Amino acid sequence: MRDMGMKMTESNMDGKNTVEVAHVAHRFAEKTVLCDISFDVASGEIFGLLGPSGAGKTTLIKILTGQLKQTSGRAEILGCDSGKLDGVTYRKIGMMLDNFGLYERLSGYENLRLYAKIYGITQTRVDDVLRRVGLWENRRLLVLKYSKGMRGRLLLARAVMNEPEILFLDEPTSGLDPATAAEIHHLIEEERQRGATVFLTTHNMSEAEKLCDNIALLNEGRIVEYGSPEEICTKYNHQNRLKVTLYDGRCVEFSNDGSAAAPLREYLEAKQIKAIHSTEPNLETVFMELTGRKFE
């Protein structure tokens, strides 16, 4: 397994990073949960921290949001030590962490109004956010009667209500149906378009490929690969072949180089090609190659 302890990203054009992590490690008693973690997240980026359950994703996000103090190393968010965040900095952060902080015997509207008073947010903003996440019609319903998808949308509404500079989303679509997950993805893209930095933890590889500018693959507390989804998949495209599906049902393969030109031309001229696919691996295939484990 390759050593990924060094700093692995470049800053964005203006040199500003929203998150900087350098050689962070964390232990619970004798168990090492994170080991020599280093990366940067540029302003306006959607960054994905990927890994199976127990890889250390939630521990790292708790360190970055000031809920845990790392055993060693440096972690900064918005230019501040993550272990010394003050009220001004917290007002620039939005968090969607499982069901953290939902009051089930209050309505969805009452939940948001409670946090709006803390942040000094207007009622108009609460109304706008409820409409945006599709909960306006159910705003008076008690949260204990909300479905899992509705709770997820309420958590996201609360996270974006203060228009944060950085948004932490811990498994935002875990257990959701595809339609609800697609709605969450749309809202995440809207936040990025607004200018927010998004820090996403997930074990959903296809979600990361769709949303993230850069990702870090985390396994057993270590980053085993880093880069954009396209770069990583291309890097591990050892076969580099083309798969051609013909109208007669046959599938033929060629090396993805000049040697394929002549036979492909023949099939094209005979109008026999139904589809052409390259053999780039997906992120799950890469993860299995790096760790020898299935991504579950």
In this prediction, what percent of the chain has a pLDDT beyond 70?
Answer: 92
Is 99 within a domain? yes
d(C-alpha 192, C-alpha 30), whole Å: 39
Is 269 within a domain? yes
Return the pLDDT at 60.
94
Q: Model confidence at 253, in pLDDT bands (50, 70, 90)?
A: confident
Q: Model confidence at 70, in pLDDT bands (50, 70, 90)?
A: very high
Q: Model confidence at 99, in pLDDT bands (50, 70, 90)?
A: low
Burial of 91 (0-12, 13-18, 19+ CB in 10 A): middle
First to last CA, the chain: 20
d(C-alpha 136, C-alpha 127), whole Å: 7
Alpha-carbon torsion angle 156, 12, 79, 9, nearest 10: 90
| Cβ atoms within 10 Å, residue 202 | 22
d(C-alpha 239, C-alpha 167), whole Å: 38
Is 246 within a domain? yes
Is 156 within a domain? yes
**Contact by Cβ (8 Å): 131, 153:** no
Whether the per-residue pLDDT at 127 is higher than 80: the answer is yes
Is 115 within a domain? yes
**Contact by Cβ (8 Å): 216, 199:** no
Return the pLDDT at 15.
55
Domain count for the chain, please give it.
2
Return the pLDDT at 9.
40
Return the pLDDT at 202.
85
Return the pLDDT at 84.
95
Return the pLDDT at 136.
96
Mean pLDDT along residues 63-91: 94
Return the pLDDT at 181.
87
Is 130 within a domain? yes
Is 65 within a domain? no
Q: Which long-range contacts (CB under 8 A, 24 or more apart) does 276-279 make?
A: 276/242, 276/243, 276/244, 276/245, 277/242, 277/243, 277/244, 277/245, 278/237, 278/240, 278/241, 278/242, 278/243, 279/237, 279/239, 279/240, 279/241, 279/242, 279/243
pLDDT tens profile 235-245: 888 767 788 89
Return the pLDDT at 293.
63
Return the pLDDT at 216.
95
Mean pLDDT along residues 134-153: 93
**Contact by Cβ (8 Å): 207, 178:** no
**Contact by Cβ (8 Å): 134, 165:** no
Whether the per-residue pLDDT at 295 is higher than 60: the answer is no
Please give the residue range of the domain that contains residue 258. 238-279
Q: Take residue 88 and report the two structure tokens written for it.
A: 């001004």
What is the DSSP secondary-structure string of 4-52? --S------TTS-EEEEEEEEEEEETTEEEEEEEEEEEETT-EEEEE--
d(C-alpha 56, C-alpha 78), whole Å: 22
Instruction: Choose one of 141, 163, 185: the last residue of a domain.
Output: 163
- The Cα angle at residue 84 between residues 80 and 85, in degrees rounded to 5: 65
Q: Count the alpha carbons within 13 Å of 252 in the hemisphere toward its beta carbon.
A: 11
Q: Which residues pair with 49 in a beta bridge?
A: 201, 216
Mean pLDDT along residues 272-296: 78
Whether the per-residue pLDDT at 256 is higher than 90: the answer is no
Pairing between β-strand 166-170 and β-strand 93-97 as defined by DSSP bridges: parallel
pLDDT tens profile 162-221: 999 999 998 888 878 888 888 889 999 999 999 999 999 988 888 999 999 999 999 999
Return the pLDDT at 294.
59
Return the pLDDT at 28.
92
Pairing between β-strand 273-278 and β-strand 241-246 as defined by DSSP bridges: antiparallel
The gap from C-alpha 202 to its chain's centroid, in whole angstroms, comes to 6
Pairing between β-strand 251-255 and β-strand 241-246 as defined by DSSP bridges: antiparallel
Computed over every residue of the chain, the mean pLDDT equals 87
Instruction: Choose one of 163, 198, 213: the last residue of a domain.
Output: 163
Whether the per-residue pLDDT at 106 is higher than 80: the answer is yes
Mean pLDDT along residues 268-275: 91
Provide CB contacts within 8 A for 14, sequence distance 6+.
43
Whether the per-residue pLDDT at 288 is higher than 50: the answer is yes
Q: Which residue has the tokens 């990073």?
A: 17
Is 81 within a domain? no
Return the pLDDT at 254.
80
Three-state DSSP state, 215: strand
The pTM (predicted TM-score) of the whole model is 0.81
Instruction: Choose one of 134, 163, 192: the last residue of a domain.
Output: 163
Return the pLDDT at 239.
64
